[in-house]
Amino acid sequence: MGEDNKVTLHGMWASPYVKRVELALKVKGIPYGYVEEDLSNKSSLLLKYNPIHKKVPILVHNGKPVSESFVILEYIDETWKNEPRLFPEDPYERARVRFWASYIQQVSDCLLKVLKGEGREKGVEELFEKMKVLEDGIKNSSMGINTNIQGKDMGLLDIIIVITLGAYKVQEEVFGVKILDPERTPLLYSWITTLIELPILKGITPPHDKVVSFLQFLKEIVFNAPTN
């Protein structure tokens, strides 16, 4: 890859938004450099490239920064038009994928509330209700996913769902709450567990012990911190 087509991803290893972009780059076969950012001591490059939100991920392509994970995913798919396409070409199908991607983000937000312990019992029930909607979407084909996914044909919804729920086992272990129930949502469970086992996922998955330590830090220090 020439210097005029250089791609660099600025991220933080535990960020699901960064992992979305990292997985998309790998699915599309795009060579890239990676810069790990310390969000407690933000680098001058991070502040230069994303002065508004001052967050990761940031994708730098030909010296031009793109921020916000969903915007980056669209940029990747529109810039590198090789297969697999993350978004469908058909406008209606594209709109459908955008709708479900937005809904999965609601699931992600709900999951975060559960992990924070905000109204735990009510939150878990709300999470299961949202997952049931995903289950119905898979069952009636309105999500249009390929359940026989092989890795190199992953689309946007595969990427977002596996990054959102792919760490469910270690989250259940640390937080002591049931997240993914194979009896309640068997199709969703099958989809996620299939995706987790793909070699392309194993290449970006952090070590189990590192994730446990990070989640314990969140549980004991960050989520229990007094609010101002």
Ordered mean pLDDT values, 10 residues apiece, the chain (228 residues): 78 97 96 96 96 97 97 97 94 95 96 89 92 95 74 86 96 94 94 92 93 95 71
Say which residues have a Cβ less than 8 Å from residue 24's Cβ, sequence separation at least 6: 72, 73, 76, 77, 86, 159
Give the number of residues written for the chain.
228
Beta-carbon-side half-sphere exposure of residue 66 (alpha carbons within 13 Å): 18
Stated as kind and residue range, the H or E segment containing 7 is strand 7-11
Q: How far apart are CA 66 and CA 75, in angstroms?
A: 8
Instruction: Find, among 1, 6, 23, 19, the residue nearest to 65 by Cα.
Output: 6
The pLDDT value recorded for residue 152 is 63
pLDDT of residue 118: 82
pLDDT at 159: 96
Cα separation, 211 vs 228, in Å, equals: 28
For residue 93, the model assigns a pLDDT of 93
Closest CA to 28 of 69, 87, 71: 87
Query: Which pLDDT does position 1 carry in this prediction?
Result: 45
CA atoms of 193 and 181, how far apart (whole Å): 12
Query: Tokens for 196?
Result: 């987790």
| Cα dihedral 34, 40, 45, 50 sign | positive
Token reading at 141: 């084909």
pTM: predicted TM-score of the whole model, two decimal places: 0.93
Give CA–CA dist 135/187, Å, rounded. Answer: 6
Residues 164, 217: Cα–Cα separation, whole Å: 19
Cα-based angle 25, 26, 31 (whole degrees, multiple of 5): 70
**Token representation of residue 3:** 């210097």
Sign, CA torsion 43/49/50/55: negative
| Strands (DSSP E) found in 76-136 | none
DSSP symbols for 189-228: HHHHHHHHTSHHHHTTPPPHHHHHHHHHHIIIIITTSPP-
Tell me what pLDDT residue 225 has. Answer: 65
